[in-house]
A and B are shown apart, each in its own frame.
Chain A
């Protein structure tokens, strides 16, 4: 049975979508043909997930057109609307109801609110068929989902997508938990579907998957479609170059690296050791990470979504326990203290700035001053009575050093721009004079000017001897600001790139697990901070 009866499966033209000040998609264009496997490639922040959410009916675009099999649509109404049209999506985050059985999760959403007469036999067969097609023969479909392994759960969510009648299957990083064998089975299934005229759109953080599976690749960068290539005409370097913005129209990667950080930064004196990880393992299947962080050093962390860098940062700040390995912080006199908890990490001078400022950082109803001072009251009180003057001084100092737009500190924090809000959130921790500052994508969604001001702030902090662990999704930022970049791939550090001499493409290559192009030092014991 073939379904090749339309000229074009999906046609997206000039799609845009913003969230407040952040423009997630500027002008995205995508054409998926029938009988094609199409890859959507891009770094973090390229707009991939936003595009996929629009495709699956979760979000509506601000502008642009979407043509499905010849029908022009302004937007898809809802996930069930998308499914009714024939678009099945498997999201990056494995979504499932833990208490419900495999079978119930597979057929979730296929019946209305009060549908009776469920054909159990036919359902069972369909489910079993789908699962065995994915390599899960013999899985008891009446097991509750919470009993399954990560890979099994992911395969069940894929099964959920494929048991519905679909003509376009969207897979967002859907192989992240699968082993090689399961992946091959999946790819066989996809190729079979392709031969029947169906279309597949997928994203992946593994370059070999992209090149091995896709017919064509559309590269997104900062919300805009950069190019669409047929796999035959695309070289690895070319694709990576397009993603990092270093390629010109001929796909040639430019050799010149991005502008470097200011000269005169004291880099020769290796500062004292402040943090040390010993065989730290983030996941059962990942390589142990051993590295040292010294005072005054800025260590960058890079990687595509979900590759372990956030887990690493959470381990460093005591929010998460690693699967195995040790993490120790060093006091001024050189004694080692293990980091066991969030409170403990704080007491050792390790301060963590969370990524999601809206949910993990900001106190919406409170004033600018309150948002800043919340961490300081612990140190600045006399028997519980606040020493306001001293905290106000800290605030004034910080406002000056970060060039905060001078406004009455009594204003509600919500009146500030995103950039200024972020300054306050950073200030909250910086004002505590940390030994180690761990920041998780601090300048995401912040305007260019504020970024410059904050880069200056970070550099001054490092010059003062603060060690900074800097996780960012923007490669240029990492290369300009940090001394070294540790690139994460599948829970391990696959490369330690010296920022001075590495290019964007090198980093992107490492992010995709591509060892041909990175100038890496092989992972193992890294001496971060000496020489660089």
Chain B
């Protein structure tokens, strides 16, 4: 029997249980971290300007929507049972339209725009959650429907890209005084991340993703958790839309949809299993950064725009393959472990 007794014959480096725990919980980050470092170096080599202060701020601003949509998709995927949210891209795109073509022209004050956008995202996500947890539609179908809905709605309300956004939003790739604006955004994201990951939510989420029957019989309200999860995902996507509006300095319903597939690619690159129950928001964020660095590398290497599209597709399939192999290996070792009992 493979019973493990603690405190026996541990190598000194891991003798601290807290460190061991931290490492164990985050083993899924191994691959994205490795990729991150490799790509960072590659980018610095190909384009020395990459490390300069100014291009930093700009890069990070462009990075935000990718990372935010990746985080938006991560949560539903972690909840397992085929969970996914295809509507994150079009929702973000629609938010740009909402801001530029509805809120600003209506004279809504700047302070209200952010809360309105976030609430919209929460409600949209909650609708997804209700369709999936209570109406019990397959997540792929429900969120495909919402994908089409938002892409259609965005291009219907604003057939041509345009409109205007508040000035403070436009300055997102610049600075507010001495502070690069993106740092403010990152600070906000960090606070949200802390709030989400410090309490009981991650445990509940990953348990539901691991085995929803175990969670249900143990007393977790699985349906409510799913609705909350999709709602949070919607909020992240809305935040991504906010950033996007600043970056394109207007509204455009067509700019959102590509973010759906990039978000899924980012999640796969982030070491997160598409089956759920394993991983974390950090993985999604890192995956987004990795994807961004890949794209940066291609742009710096003067690779044609169209090839970027090809590479995106190849990266998606490779990332899924990587994930799939990792899954397979882990399942085998878990089965072997069980056989010993």
Interface residue B217 (Cβ < 8 Å from any Cβ of A): yes
Q: Show 30 residue pairs from A and B whose CB-CB distance is below 8 angstroms, ordered by the A residue.
A: A58-B217, A79-B217, A79-B218, A91-B217, A95-B211, A95-B218, A96-B214, A97-B207, A97-B211, A98-B334, A100-B203, A109-B218, A109-B220, A110-B219, A113-B225, A113-B228, A115-B199, A115-B200, A116-B200, A118-B200, A139-B3, A140-B6, A142-B20, A142-B21, A143-B4, A148-B341, A149-B1, A149-B338, A149-B341, A323-B339
Please, how many angstroms separate the alpha-carbon atoms of A139 and B220 in the complex? 25
Q: Report B321-341 CB contacts with A as 1/0, cut-off 8 Å.
A: 000000000000010011111
Tell me the minimal C-beta distance from A100 to chain B in angstroms.
Answer: 6
Q: Report A59-100 CB contacts with B as 1/0, cut-off 8 Å.
A: 000000000000000000011100100000101010111111
**In the complex, what residues of A have CB within 8 A of residue B2's CB?**
147-149
The verdict on A149 contacting B207 (CB below 8 Å), with A80-B221, A91-B217 known, is: no
Query: Could you list which residues of chain B lie within 8 angstroms of chain A, going by C-beta atoms?
Result: 1-6, 17, 20-21, 24, 198-201, 203-204, 206-207, 209-211, 213-221, 224-225, 228, 277-278, 334, 337-341
Asked if residues B216 and A113 are in contact (CB atoms below 8 Å), the reply is no
The verdict on A113 contacting B221 (CB below 8 Å), with A142-B17, A142-B24, A152-B3 known, is: yes
The verdict on A98 contacting B221 (CB below 8 Å), with A113-B228, A115-B199, A151-B1 known, is: no
User: Residue on B with the closest CB to A177?
Assistant: B341
Please, how many angstroms separate the alpha-carbon atoms of A153 and B2 in the complex? 12
Tell me whether chain B's interface is mostly helix, strand or loop, or mixed: helix
User: Residue on A with the closest CB to B207?
Assistant: A97
The verdict on A104 contacting B207 (CB below 8 Å), with A99-B277, A149-B341 known, is: yes
Interface residues of A in 92-131 (CB under 8 A from B): 93, 95-101, 104-105, 108-116, 118
Please, how many angstroms separate the alpha-carbon atoms of A144 and B200 in the complex? 17
Please, how many angstroms separate the alpha-carbon atoms of A109 and B341 in the complex? 27
Asked if residues B220 and A108 are in contact (CB atoms below 8 Å), the reply is yes
Asked if residues A96 and B24 are in contact (CB atoms below 8 Å), the reply is no
The verdict on A89 contacting B217 (CB below 8 Å), with A142-B21, A146-B334 known, is: yes
Please, how many angstroms separate the alpha-carbon atoms of A216 and B224 in the complex? 40
Asked if residues A99 and B225 are in contact (CB atoms below 8 Å), the reply is no
Tell me the minimal C-beta distance from B23 to chain A in angstroms.
Answer: 11
**In the complex, what residues of B have CB within 8 A of residue A142's CB?**
17, 20-21, 24
Tell me the minimal C-beta distance from B206 to chain A in angstroms.
Answer: 6
Interface residue A138 (Cβ < 8 Å from any Cβ of B): yes
Please, how many angstroms separate the alpha-carbon atoms of A108 and B209 in the complex? 13
Tell me the minimal C-beta distance from B76 to chain A in angstroms.
Answer: 15
Interface residues of A in 153-209 (CB under 8 A from B): 153, 160, 177
Which one of B21, B200, B338 has the highest number of Cβ atoms from chain A below 10 Å of its Cβ? B200
Interface residue A56 (Cβ < 8 Å from any Cβ of B): yes
**In the complex, what residues of B have CB within 8 A of residue A93's CB?**
213
**In the complex, what residues of A have CB within 8 A of residue B339's CB?**
284, 323
The verdict on A150 contacting B338 (CB below 8 Å), with A113-B200, A142-B20 known, is: yes
Asked if residues A112 and B200 are in contact (CB atoms below 8 Å), the reply is yes
Please, how many angstroms separate the alpha-carbon atoms of A79 and B214 in the complex? 11
Chain A interface category by residue count: 35 or more
Asked if residues B217 and A99 are in contact (CB atoms below 8 Å), the reply is no
Query: Could you list which residues of chain A lie within 8 angstroms of chain B, going by C-beta atoms?
Result: 56, 58, 78-80, 83, 89, 91, 93, 95-101, 104-105, 108-116, 118, 136, 138-140, 142-144, 146-153, 160, 177, 284, 323
**In the complex, what residues of A have CB within 8 A of residue B220's CB?**
80, 108-109
Tell me the minimal C-beta distance from A211 to chain B in angstroms.
Answer: 28
Asked if residues B211 and A146 are in contact (CB atoms below 8 Å), the reply is no
**In the complex, what residues of A have CB within 8 A of residue B204's CB?**
111, 113
**In the complex, what residues of B have CB within 8 A of residue A95's CB?**
211, 213-214, 217-218
Asked if residues B219 and A116 are in contact (CB atoms below 8 Å), the reply is no
Please, how many angstroms separate the alpha-carbon atoms of A112 and B204 in the complex? 8
From A58, A140, A177, B4 is in contact (CB under 8 Å) with A140
Asked if residues B207 and A100 are in contact (CB atoms below 8 Å), the reply is yes
From A79, A146, A177, B216 is in contact (CB under 8 Å) with A79
Please, how many angstroms separate the alpha-carbon atoms of A149 and B340 in the complex? 7
**In the complex, what residues of A have CB within 8 A of residue B214's CB?**
95-97, 105, 108
From B4, B199, B225, B278, A139 is in contact (CB under 8 Å) with B4
From B3, B6, B219, B277, A149 is in contact (CB under 8 Å) with B3
Asked if residues B219 and A99 are in contact (CB atoms below 8 Å), the reply is no
Please, how many angstroms separate the alpha-carbon atoms of A95 and B21 in the complex? 23
User: Residue on B with the closest CB to A157?
Assistant: B214
Please, how many angstroms separate the alpha-carbon atoms of A114 and B200 in the complex? 5
Asked if residues B210 and A98 are in contact (CB atoms below 8 Å), the reply is yes
Tell me the minimal C-beta distance from B195 to chain A in angstroms.
Answer: 9
Please, how many angstroms separate the alpha-carbon atoms of A149 and B20 in the complex? 21
Please, how many angstroms separate the alpha-carbon atoms of A53 and B20 in the complex? 39
Asked if residues B199 and A83 are in contact (CB atoms below 8 Å), the reply is no
Tell me the minimal C-beta distance from A164 to chain B in angstroms.
Answer: 8
